Homo-oligomer: A and B are copies of this chain.
């Protein structure tokens, strides 16, 4: 077989190859590679959930503008998001750190201050991990452990035809926060006496630097007795994550541009940067909002209880993923994985 470059395969292609190569064999492995968390047997009524993610300096974060405290918070909350998106609750995390010798004890303690704030906010414990040296920069690998009632487990592959597709919060904000931070960084490098102008973009930048995981929504689901048919957290971008749900559920999706929840501040900033707000919402990524589907009755219950979610479209039987534009054009959605290779 001819060898291939990673660039030509892409992130999702590589995950598929690994997934197809590693079928699960133990009875205790309920769900393996391919959802937001792995699912492992626990007791008569419950499953364990485990998710794991790695953040690498220069790829996932830039310490010239990402304060270590916020980074500690973000490393935790983005991992917990993968537990909540299974409709479960997180209880523990482990953190592996690779540290170059430019980091001092104070720097590491700043990072851990953020970890501690997240532990307190989400009521989880840091129970282990590894610290090692790194030749180049900071490397953070987090595993999150949680549990879910068997009857409440929500997967990517179980969306139903005609399900209403919902998204929590708003989209595109984190991506635009990143663009502003990158712009101010390049302004600073070309003219170090310029002060960065960030005050107008506070909510965008905050969403990028210390995004919250939507534990609150999973608590609401439990309160009002809603179990979504399918769910994923939006890390790669709405379009990519919708396509994950679509492929795994063997259904199509149809969403409407005019329904996408985009804040006014996001639209204004996109216009300022000559970016299309809809493209930012579809492909920006790092929203860490929950994307899920419910039947019409459950959607009405969500709406009647004033839950912070927006319906953006529905699942179809034709396996196509499309966006209906404001001008009534039908546009195919495209997945985006890594942009790094």
- Mark A residues whose CB is within 8 Å of B: 3-7, 9, 11, 14-15, 17-18, 21-22, 24-26, 28-29, 31-33, 37-38, 40, 42-43, 48, 50-54, 56, 58-60, 91-92, 94, 96-99, 101, 103-106, 108-109, 112, 115-116, 119, 123-137, 139, 141, 143, 145, 338, 340-341
CB atoms of B52 and A143 under 8 A apart: yes
Residues of B close to A124: CB separation below 8 A = 26
Q: Are A126 and B52 in contact (CB under 8 A)?
A: no
A56-B145 CB under 8 A given contacts A14-B108, A28-B91: no
Number of identical protomers: 2
Closest residue to A341 on the B side, CB-wise?
A: B101
Contact of A4 (CB < 8 Å), options: B94, B98, B104, B136: B104
Are A128 and B17 in contact, with the CB atoms below 8 A?
no
Judge whether B11 and A91 touch: CB under 8 Å. no
CB of A104 to closest CB in B, whole Å: 5
Does A52 contact B133, Cβ atoms closer than 8 Å? no
Most buried by B among A29, A115, A338: A29
- Return chain B residues, CB-CB under 8 Å to A104: 3-6
A32 in contact with B125 (CB, 8 Å): yes
Q: Could you tell me if B92 and A59 are in contact, using CB atoms closer than 8 angstroms?
A: no
B91-A127 in contact (CB<8A): no
A168 → chain B closest CB, angstroms:
23
- Whether A32 pairs with B136 at a CB distance below 8 angstroms is no
Closest B residue to A21 using CB positions: B112
Contact B139 A32 (CB under 8 A): no
Which residues on the B side are within 8 Å of A119 (C-beta)? 22
Query: Mind listing 14 A-B residue pairs with CB under 8 Å?
Result: A3-B105, A7-B101, A17-B105, A21-B116, A22-B116, A26-B125, A29-B91, A33-B126, A50-B50, A50-B145, A54-B96, A54-B132, A56-B135, A135-B137
Are B94 and A29 in touch, CB under 8 angstroms?
Answer: no
Indicate whether A141 sits within 8 Å of B52 (C-beta atoms), given known contacts A59-B135, A132-B338. yes
A139 contact set on B, CB distance < 8 A: 54, 56, 98, 139
A150, chain B: closest CB distance, angstroms: 14
Q: How far is the CA of A17 from the CA of B112 in the complex (A)?
A: 10
User: Known: A52-B128, A127-B50. Is A6-B105 also a contact (CB below 8 A)?
Assistant: yes
How far does the alpha carbon of A99 sit from the alpha carbon of B15 in the complex, in Å?
A: 13
A270 to chain B, nearest CB (A): 26
Report yes or no: A38 in contact with B128, Cβ–Cβ below 8 A: yes
Shortest CB-to-CB span from A239 to chain B, Å, is 19
Nearest chain B residue, comparing its CB with the CB of A119: B22
Task: List B contacts of A116 (CB < 8 A).
Answer: 21-22
CA of A125 to CA of B58, assembled, Å: 32
Q: Which residue of B lies closest to A101 (CB)?
A: B341
Measured CA separation A98–B7 after assembly (Å): 14
